[in-house]
Amino acid sequence: METRDAAVVEDVVAHVRAALQGAAPAWGRALVRFEVMGGCFSTRVLHGAGERLEPLDAVRHQPLFLRLQALGRQLSAVAGRRDGACDVEIGPRSHRTR
């Protein structure tokens, strides 16, 4: 992962962890998916305490999603592409990208 991507991912992780502490204090893991398909960019946040992940409401958490949209567009996996995706898996103490 490029240094710039690593910094962006760290920012994504910090924002998601902070939001989930308030929205779903019992969360155990989260998945943020940045995807561009046919030139259209989207961001999804899923979270849960067990195997099942639930979507985070983008309307209720609009400031978070606006920030994530801006950050996600900077990742090399999706920046300037018509198609691509980047997943950020987040736990309470660790994270990874795919």
User: How many domains does the chain divide into?
Assistant: 1
Please report the pLDDT score of residue 13 as a whole number: 97
Distance (Å, rounded) from C-alpha 81 to C-alpha 59? 26
Residue 1 in this model has a pLDDT that exceeds 80: no
Please answer whether residues 46 and 35 qualify as being in contact, where contact means their C-beta atoms are separated by less than 8 angstroms.
no
Q: What is the pLDDT of residues 33-44, one digit of tens each?
A: 999 998 899 999
Residue 97 pLDDT > 60: yes
Q: Which domain holds residue 26?
A: 3-97
Residues 6+ apart with CB under 8 A from 92: 17, 27, 28
Q: Which among 1-5, 54-58, 75-79 has the top mean pLDDT? A: 54-58
Let me know how many helices (H) and strands (E) the chain has, helices first: 2, 5
Instruction: Kindly report the average pLDDT of the chain as a whole number.
Output: 92
